[in-house]
Amino acid sequence: MTAGDAEAERVALLARAGSGLAALLREAAWRGIASTVAADEGDARARALAAAAGAEVAGVWPGGREAATLVVDRLPADLAELPPEPVLVAPAAAADALAAAGRRVVPIVSVIGLDPSAARARAAELRSRHGAVVLAGWDPGMLDALTRAGVVPGPVREPPAPPGARLDGVRALHLTSVHRPDDGRIFHREVAALRAAGADAHVLGLAARPPRSRRAAAGRRLVEEARRREVDVYHVHDPELLPGAVWLRRATGRVVIYDAHEYLGQTTRTKPWIPGPFRTPTAVGAAHAERALARRLSGVVAVTEDLAVEFAATGVPAVSVANYAAAERFPDPGPADGPVVAYVGALDASRGLGLMLEAFPMVAAPGARLVLAGPGDPGPLPPPVTHLGPVPYDVVPRVLAGAAVVWIPLRRTPNNDRGRLTKVMEAMAAGRPLVVSDLTRTATIVRAAGCGIVVPDRDPAAHAAALTELLEDPETAARMGAAGRRAFLERMTFGREAARLVAFYAELLGR
């Protein structure tokens, strides 16, 4: 291969990487990794994707006509000097070397042209200023290797907090036919945030979830009732309401927002009421319909950054609003009520109910008790296990405060693996150590904070051993609990998410 051929191949490779900005941001975001995007002032799409991903936008980089991204490989043993030009990544070796050297990693994507000399100069500047290794054009294997090795990649700088905004006089109506009107995300987080910003916000829902066969009709009646209300913003929370949301947009000309609570294309694959052979085609069709209908609305609020990027890539304004907890709900932790293990959430196979009932009898700590709090029927339980049933939103902090360890043994499903679990953040807020299954996003959060033990999702003995270890070592448990609470207070409270939601409303309303 001639030098010219090699250069042409390099340029083509980097151009392909640069064109996949949405894919790169999505792969990083669902692993809990924040990126840095270098975008031209006039590149609205790149800036929209960066905003959806919660990524820092570093501004314009000087350059020429080549589409380039910065990639690092063949790291010297001492990491004193990095290669003088962008080359490809060697995942495992790079991750191990970076972890051993304690080096910081910055995933960064350039979406404007850079000539080779400008690329080298910018990489050198970042290394000298931030002591960081610059990665781009990454693949999932590289990111997974980094996180397994204990490296927590992040942006050059944390994105600034959303600007303060007011919504005085704005009338907002949230619609749901599936969730309870006092749902934690809908009422206690989002509606509360809008009211604090001056909006007149309310929830229009149903007293009880209708049977599946009647859900469409119930949704139509809900949308028709909403049409009769004089409001400025309609905010719908269920995929079943999307056709009605499009109708509301057309009929009223008002701002209509869709709130994506979950990965619809993934959760549909696990629905037991859909016959097995039809689950995948149904899931693909549901996800396609969800994107197509959402594109016809004013904007999308998504529960995670990668989900927001998926919608933003279709051209609709999107923002992520995470289900972080309000700090005031969780006071400074006191002593636990003895060797108590708590699980808070729905009880079914995907949440690890079977594993809990198999693993807990193997816990060797004297006097250990398991408290289950959430909807579902766990069946007959041995004496050390208590089921409280569904608990009100305001009671959850008390249940967690009474526990010595919080257990989150969810099974690996696509939705669980990608989701940012509310129960993880609440356990951290309560200052309690965790034992969690090795779900990708959950494991990244727990390892980065040092707040618990990560074990294989299908290994009851490993779960039991981790619970025993923390129950019998209160000093380690206390250290992990304090680390989790510290991480929560530093970067996982709902205040920043509330500001992001309010700013998104103000943007869509033209304020």
Least confident span in 193-197, 283-287, 290-294, 474-478: 283-287
Percentage with pLDDT > 70 across the chain = 79
Average pLDDT in the 259-286 region? 83
pLDDT given at position 317: 95
Q: Are 391 and 495 in contact (CB under 8 A)?
A: no
Q: Which amino acid is at 332?
A: D
Q: Are 463 and 409 in contact (CB under 8 A)?
A: yes
Q: Are 430 and 406 in contact (CB under 8 A)?
A: yes
For the beta sheet containing 255-260, the strands, ordered from the edge strand earlier in sequence to the opposite edge, are 200-204, 171-175, 233-236, 255-260, 299-302, 318-320
pLDDT tens digits along 474-500? 999 999 999 999 999 988 899 989 999
pLDDT given at position 122: 60
Predicted confidence band of residue 62 (pLDDT cuts 50, 70, 90): very low
- Residue 322 in this model has a pLDDT that exceeds 50: yes
Q: Are 300 and 257 in contact (CB under 8 A)?
A: yes
- Residue 501 in this model has a pLDDT that exceeds 50: yes
Predicted confidence band of residue 307 (pLDDT cuts 50, 70, 90): very high
Q: Are 320 and 259 in contact (CB under 8 A)?
A: no
Instruction: Give the global pTM.
Output: 0.81
pLDDT tens digits along 17-33? 334 788 888 888 888 78
**Which residues in 100-130 are b (16+ Cβ under 10 Å) and which e?**
eeebbbbbbbbbbbbebebbbebbeebbeee
In whole angstroms, what is the distance from residue 79 CA to residue 103 CA?
9
Predicted confidence band of residue 70 (pLDDT cuts 50, 70, 90): very low
In whole angstroms, what is the distance from residue 106 CA to residue 33 CA?
9
Token pair belonging to 179: 């969730």
In whole angstroms, what is the distance from residue 232 CA to residue 241 CA?
18
Quick check: do 171-324+494-508 and 331-491 share a fold? yes
**Domain residue extents for the chain:** 3-148, 171-324+494-508, 331-491
In whole angstroms, what is the distance from residue 52 CA to residue 223 CA?
28
pLDDT given at position 276: 78
Question: For strand 200-204 and strand 299-302, is the pairing parallel, antiparallel, or unpaired?
Answer: unpaired
Looking at domain 171-324+494-508, which of 3.40.50.2000, 3.40.50.1820, 3.40.50.300, 3.40.640.10 is its CATH number?
Answer: 3.40.50.2000
Average pLDDT in the 283-311 region? 93
Q: Are 178 and 202 in contact (CB under 8 A)?
A: no
- Residue 68 in this model has a pLDDT that exceeds 90: no
In whole angstroms, what is the distance from residue 8 CA to residue 239 CA?
46
Predicted confidence band of residue 355 (pLDDT cuts 50, 70, 90): very high
Q: Which amino acid is at 263?
A: Y
**Which residues in 168-177 are b (16+ Cβ under 10 Å) and which e?**
eebebbbbbb
Which among 320, 374, 323, 321 is positioned nearest to 184, based on CA atoms? 323
Three-state SS at 37: strand
Three-state SS at 34: coil
Of residues 143 and 230, more confidently modeled: 230
pLDDT given at position 245: 97
Of residues 372 and 155, more confidently modeled: 372
Q: Which amino acid is at 31?
A: R
Query: E strands, 157-254, where?
Result: 171-175, 200-204, 233-236
- Count other C-beta atoms under 10 Å from residue 508's C-beta: 18
Predicted confidence band of residue 109 (pLDDT cuts 50, 70, 90): low
- Residue 118 in this model has a pLDDT that exceeds 60: no
Average pLDDT in the 292-310 region? 95
- Residue 129 in this model has a pLDDT that exceeds 80: no
Q: Which amino acid is at 217?
A: A
Of residues 75 and 441, more confidently modeled: 441
Q: Are 103 and 131 in contact (CB under 8 A)?
A: yes
At the fourth CATH level, the homologous superfamily of domain 331-491 is: Glycogen Phosphorylase B; (3.40.50.2000)
